[in-house]
Amino acid sequence: MFRPTSPQRPLFGVEHRMDPDMTYGHKGKGYEVQLAETCVEENPFQVITAVDVNDANESDQHQVGPVLEQTERTCGAAPDEMHTDAGYGSGENIVMAREQHGTELKAPIGSNESEKHLPLGEFEFDAEGQEVLQCPAGQAPARHQPSRSGKAVLAIFSASQCRGCPLRHVCPTEKRRDGRHLRITKADVAVARRRLEQETEQFKERHKIRSGIEATNSELKRCHGLGKLRVRRRPRVGLAVRLKVLALNVKRYVGHLTEVTLAAAGPAPACAC
């Protein structure tokens, strides 16, 4: 089974002032193209398994689900891992990819935690990321209960547990009548765990594979004209992009067949002049 890598940074297509469907994004006007490509060394050749066109002003955060769904249809199964840049990474996407597709979304998470409090990763959670096992001071919550909205879980520590704690001044829990509360969601825990994981050498080494698709981006632009298309309007742009990606896959397949045929034929016999 092919294992796709990330939907990458977008490629811009049509750049024409008379195209009313174009929008402006952080890289200028045009469209964005999302790609997913296989990245297993054992594959005889790598192929693009998902392609989609979206507006330049759309967030990459919303593209992970559609790319995984398309890859699942193309390959018959979702990938074990999908490597993306930080633009696609969020706790919600990590949880969605794992629970809905069985895919580990390997996307770095930026750091925006408050420096006034201990990071959530200092707490120990259960395997599902739904309950706190213990706080950084070694205290287990007195109980857990759903939040009022039902979208989060409250880990509740009693006042006696927290009284005199040396970490109290940097603790992210909030004081309430019945003790101190820590509000958590699966997405929060996923982000906390990823921030710890992405600092390890193992993650950094494995994540280097993401850069491989940049060569494919370049090939589509240089050899297949994806950088500037000769069509306008969203439907035509989408069709042109998909045909160019199909041409690239066919070219790689033909190249593979050629290599196999030449290897089977063996070296050409020597001849005397």
Q: What is the pLDDT of residues 152-204, one digit of tens each?
A: 999 999 999 999 899 989 999 999 999 999 999 999 999 999 999 999 999 99
Q: How confident is the model at residue 4 (pLDDT cuts 50, 70, 90)?
A: very low
Domains in the chain, start-ordered, CATH in brackets?
23-109+198-265 (3.30.420), 120-185 (no CATH)
User: What confidence score (pLDDT) does residue 28 get?
Assistant: 78
pTM of this prediction?
A: 0.85
Three-class SS of residue 16?
coil
Q: Average of pLDDT values for 212-241? A: 92
DSSP state of 227: S
Residues belonging to the chain: 273
And the tokens for 104? 């580990």
pLDDT in tens, 88-109: 999 999 999 999 999 999 999 9
Q: How confident is the model at residue 26 (pLDDT cuts 50, 70, 90)?
A: confident
Percentage of residues of the chain with pLDDT beyond 90: 74
Q: How confident is the model at residue 114 (pLDDT cuts 50, 70, 90)?
A: low
User: What confidence score (pLDDT) does residue 117 get?
Assistant: 86
Identify the CA nearest to 144 among candidates 126, 160, 127, 162.
Answer: 126
User: What confidence score (pLDDT) does residue 269 get?
Assistant: 67
User: What confidence score (pLDDT) does residue 110 get?
Assistant: 83
How many angstroms separate the CA atoms of 57 and 26, rounded? 7
User: What confidence score (pLDDT) does residue 270 get?
Assistant: 64
Alpha helices by DSSP H, the chain: 64-75, 91-101, 159-162, 186-197, 201-207, 213-224, 234-265
pLDDT in tens, 6-24: 343 444 444 445 788 888 8
User: What confidence score (pLDDT) does residue 5 get?
Assistant: 42
Q: Average of pLDDT values for 49-53? A: 95
Chain mean pLDDT for the chain = 89
For the cut 70, the answer to whether the pLDDT of residue 273 exceeds it is: no
Q: How confident is the model at residue 268 (pLDDT cuts 50, 70, 90)?
A: low
Residue found under tokens 């969203």: 234
Q: How confident is the model at residue 56 (pLDDT cuts 50, 70, 90)?
A: confident
pLDDT in tens, 128-142: 999 999 999 999 999
Q: How confident is the model at residue 113 (pLDDT cuts 50, 70, 90)?
A: low
Tell me the DSSP string of 143-167.
Answer: EEEE-TTSSSEEEEE-HHHHTT-TT
Q: Which residues contact 130 (CB under 8 A, 6 or more apart)?
A: 153, 184, 186, 189
